[in-house]
Chains A and B, each alone.
Chain A
Amino acid sequence: MPEQRRIIFQHIDEPGYSNDLACYLRNGGYTTLRQAFQRKPEELIEEVKRSGLRGRGGAGFSCGLKWSLVDRKSGKPIYLIVNADESEPGTFKDRHIIHQDPHQLLEGMMITCFANNVKQAYIYIRGEFPEGARILERAIAEARAANFVGPNIAGSGYCCEVYVHRGAGAYICGEETGLIESLEGKRPYPRIKPPYFPAVLGLYQCPTIVNNVETLCHVRHIAAVGGAAFAKTGTPGNTGTRIYCVSGHVQKPGCYEFEVGRITMGQLLYEACGGPLPGRKFKAVIPGGSSAKVLKFGERFNGRRKVGTTLEEYNWALEDVPMDFDSLALVGSMGGSGGVIVMDDSVNMVEALGNINAFYAHESCGQCTPCREGSLWMKRITARMAGGGARHGDGALLKSVADQIAGRTICAFGEACAWPTQSFVQKFGDEFGAAGSAAPSAEALAKAEAPRAERTRLV
């Protein structure tokens, strides 16, 4: 197994490392920002493009490309918003960065601001991180006092302000246009694209960059080592390191930072995380936050894929799948936010889906009918099934509802809430009543019912 390569998490859980400015400076903090001021902003953007950095929030969109789409000719101010709304179930990396190394984020932000001529930045942090918000506010005050934030930063003549803005418990604020609406003081109803691409019509209808916490920490690292050097880590098209947050049924859950694509699902779960709990076997894994499609142990994936410039055959068991954006997309799921949720053979998949569906029904913003109604129907159907009231055709009914949500909504929440249902029903047909058969087989029902009392309740 490859070694962990801790770049963003270099100082996380390090004994004696504290989250104050003095400690950050002792460890070489803010030297990269000072050096960045010696360069032209365009050069910094080029470095990020060259690095191949892909956003770590969920979609895996090229960070350099995102920056290059910003409308610089409008004459309007350009804003940076840090998406610290970490709320995709299974994801818990930004919490550690904010709590333990907030100046790393601030330095990445200030470099990003300078590169993009941003004079005002906001950190949108989820409401459930009150301590994180206080830590960030203190870090900003320290940085302001030391002249790394505010007017004439480090004597460069460049000015930039940063404020923390707290959310109030709504998952939809992680969607960038919903976040912008929320920051404008409105209900966080996502905006339709086109025309409301944040790069052109974002916060206050001005060009806006929205980047994830981990992404901005990578920007600091890219500015330090250069885009070309960064691009040599990870794998082509999936550069740098990535923090995998593993939770659920493994011996050692936690955050693990590896070069992207240099580790397989099997290595991550069996070697880094110590494998399944005693006496259990892995059954399923959600690889990129709860909205990613579930993968089933025992599945095989084959086909041809592009490696560099050549086409290569692949024939993978789930354990062989490299943990990068493209490979996970190839096997029908996604790298998403890096939240890996593991379920073992004690889990009843109807109940697990019931849990996920309850989340999405609670979090739908209610703007688009298919999502508002459909997420509730899916929740009710799976709750009824989990309660012992499965009926003929429930699997097909669930699929039909999910199929009518995805692609019919303003934002990607539609897909996020449909994908779990679509994939659970397809892959665990015996527990849902396979598409062909009308209801779960008597055998499957008997198996699911017997140990019900001892099972951990999920819904």
Chain B
Amino acid sequence: MSKETPVNLSPETLSRIDEVITHYPVKRSAALPLLHLVQEEKGFISQESAEWIAARLELEPINIYELVTFYPMLRQKPIGRRHIKVCRTLSCALSGAYRTCAEFERHFNTYCGEVSPGGEVTIEFVECLASCGTGPVVMVDDELHEKVDEARACELAVRIKAEAARAPGTGGEQRK
């Protein structure tokens, strides 16, 4: 089953999927790990992906849909090439998280929760990232940035744009 799949996962992801299922005495437990692996490769969980995961774990599709629609980190739609998550919760807000978020929105000409024009980034306001002593904190993809005030947000935005311009085939040419 894991050899020929309509969702066309890479051999590496497929072997990680086979491995992770062995971590649990009950296959269903591997649902979240599989969702993470598929989302990491595909960027989001399509209906086909959800159905494929369900079949792989011998579950009904609803058993997977109910997870995709519950967990904030699982997505049903693609997002921008970079994902900027700004913590909104109290300690970060006390240190100016709303200003930080507005600064990112201004730089990328977009609103929270939307894909920016050209697909460059998705900015998201998220709940507590557990780094409350160094707020406002921001995650750019998997990387945590601390004490991101407006000036730091501006620096980060400039860096993200520069990285996009360097990387071929990711929309950098489009902007030139």
Interface set of A (CB-CB < 8 Å, partner B): 86-92, 94-95, 120, 126-131, 163, 165-171, 182-188, 204, 245-249, 253-255, 290, 339, 341, 343, 347, 352, 355-356, 358-359, 362-363, 365, 456-459
The interface residues of chain A lying within 8 Å CB-to-CB of B31 are: 185
How far is B88's CA from A186's CA once the two chains are assembled, in angstroms? 27
Chain B window 137-162, contacts with chain A (Cβ cutoff 8 Å), 1 for yes, 0 for no:
00100111000000000000000000
Give min CB distance, B45 to chain A, whole Å.
11
State whether A254 and B127 are in contact (beta carbons under 8 Å apart), knowing that A90-B90, A170-B72, A187-B66 are contacts in the complex: no
7 new A-B contacts at CB < 8 Å, known A169-B73, A365-B70: A87-B130, A90-B91, A165-B23, A168-B67, A169-B71, A187-B66, A253-B134
Are B88 and A166 touching (Cβ within 8 A)?
Answer: no
Are B94 and A168 touching (Cβ within 8 A)?
Answer: no
The interface residues of chain A lying within 8 Å CB-to-CB of B71 are: 127, 167-170
22 pairs, CB–CB < 8 Å, chain A vs chain B? A89-B90, A91-B132, A127-B36, A166-B33, A166-B36, A168-B36, A168-B72, A170-B70, A171-B127, A184-B28, A185-B26, A187-B66, A204-B26, A247-B133, A253-B132, A341-B91, A343-B94, A355-B89, A362-B72, A362-B127, A365-B70, A456-B99
The interface residues of chain A lying within 8 Å CB-to-CB of B10 are: none
The interface residues of chain A lying within 8 Å CB-to-CB of B129 are: 128
The interface residues of chain A lying within 8 Å CB-to-CB of B133 are: 92, 245-247, 253-255
Find the A residue at minimum CB distance from B128.
A89
Interface set of B (CB-CB < 8 Å, partner A): 23, 25-26, 28-33, 35-36, 57, 59, 63, 66-67, 70-74, 88-91, 93-96, 98-99, 126-135, 139, 142-144
Find the A residue at minimum CB distance from B144.
A131
Are B93 and A458 touching (Cβ within 8 A)?
Answer: yes
How far is B23's CA from A184's CA once the two chains are assembled, in angstroms? 12
How far is B139's CA from A89's CA once the two chains are assembled, in angstroms? 16
Give min CB distance, B146 to chain A, whole Å.
11
How far is B32's CA from A442's CA once the two chains are assembled, in angstroms? 52
Are B135 and A247 touching (Cβ within 8 A)?
Answer: yes
How far is B92's CA from A249's CA once the two chains are assembled, in angstroms? 11
Give min CB distance, B111 to chain A, whole Å.
16
Give min CB distance, B1 to chain A, whole Å.
18
Find the A residue at minimum CB distance from B32.
A168
How far is B36's CA from A138's CA once the two chains are assembled, in angstroms? 18
How far is B67's CA from A166's CA once the two chains are assembled, in angstroms? 14
Are A131 and B94 touching (Cβ within 8 A)?
Answer: no
The interface residues of chain B lying within 8 Å CB-to-CB of A343 are: 94
Are A90 and B132 touching (Cβ within 8 A)?
Answer: yes
How far is B22's CA from A163's CA once the two chains are assembled, in angstroms? 10
How far is B72's CA from A171's CA once the two chains are assembled, in angstroms? 10
Find the A residue at minimum CB distance from B91.
A247
Find the B residue at minimum CB distance from A256.
B133
How far is B71's CA from A365's CA once the two chains are assembled, in angstroms? 10
How far is B11's CA from A274's CA once the two chains are assembled, in angstroms? 54
Find A168's partner among B74, B93, B127, B130 (CB 8 Å cutoff): B74
Are B130 and A456 touching (Cβ within 8 A)?
Answer: no
Are B142 and A168 touching (Cβ within 8 A)?
Answer: no
Are A168 and B91 touching (Cβ within 8 A)?
Answer: no
Q: Which A-B residue pairs are the 4 nearest by beta carbons?
A: A168-B71, A247-B132, A185-B31, A169-B72
State whether A352 and B134 are in contact (beta carbons under 8 Å apart), knowing that A167-B32, A187-B66, A204-B25 are contacts in the complex: no
Find the A residue at minimum CB distance from B69.
A187
Find A359's partner among B25, B128, B131, B134 (CB 8 Å cutoff): B128
Find the B residue at minimum CB distance from A252.
B133
The interface residues of chain A lying within 8 Å CB-to-CB of B23 are: 163, 165
Are A89 and B91 touching (Cβ within 8 A)?
Answer: yes
Find B130's partner among A128, A204, A358, A459 (CB 8 Å cutoff): A128
How far is B28's CA from A271's CA once the two chains are assembled, in angstroms? 51
Are A92 and B132 touching (Cβ within 8 A)?
Answer: yes
Are B128 and A187 touching (Cβ within 8 A)?
Answer: no
The interface residues of chain B lying within 8 Å CB-to-CB of A339 are: 132
Give min CB distance, A178 to chain B, whole Å.
11
Give min CB distance, B137 to chain A, whole Å.
9
How far is B33's CA from A131's CA once the two chains are assembled, in angstroms? 15
State whether A185 and B29 are in contact (beta carbons under 8 Å apart), knowing that A130-B142, A290-B90, A457-B98 are contacts in the complex: yes
How far is B23's CA from A94's CA once the two chains are assembled, in angstroms? 24
Find A355's partner among B33, B93, B144 (CB 8 Å cutoff): B93
The interface residues of chain B lying within 8 Å CB-to-CB of A95 are: 130-131
Are A458 and B90 touching (Cβ within 8 A)?
Answer: yes
Give min CB distance, A416 to chain B, whole Å.
13
How far is B20's CA from A165's CA once the two chains are assembled, in angstroms? 10
How far is B143's CA from A405's CA once the two chains are assembled, in angstroms? 37
Find the A residue at minimum CB distance from B90.
A355
How far is B175's CA from A440's CA once the two chains are assembled, in angstroms? 53
The interface residues of chain A lying within 8 Å CB-to-CB of B90 are: 89-90, 248, 290, 341, 352, 355-356, 359, 458
How far is B31's CA from A440's CA once the two chains are assembled, in angstroms? 50
State whether A168 and B73 are in contact (beta carbons under 8 Å apart), knowing that A128-B129, A355-B93, A362-B127 are contacts in the complex: yes
Give min CB distance, B113 to chain A, whole Å.
13
- Chain A CB count within 10 A is highest, among B67, B130, B142, for B130
The interface residues of chain B lying within 8 Å CB-to-CB of A347 are: 94
State whether A290 and B99 are in contact (beta carbons under 8 Å apart), knowing that A165-B32, A184-B29 are contacts in the complex: no
How far is B6's CA from A247's CA once the two chains are assembled, in angstroms? 48
The interface residues of chain A lying within 8 Å CB-to-CB of B29 are: 165, 183-185
The interface residues of chain B lying within 8 Å CB-to-CB of A245 are: 132-133
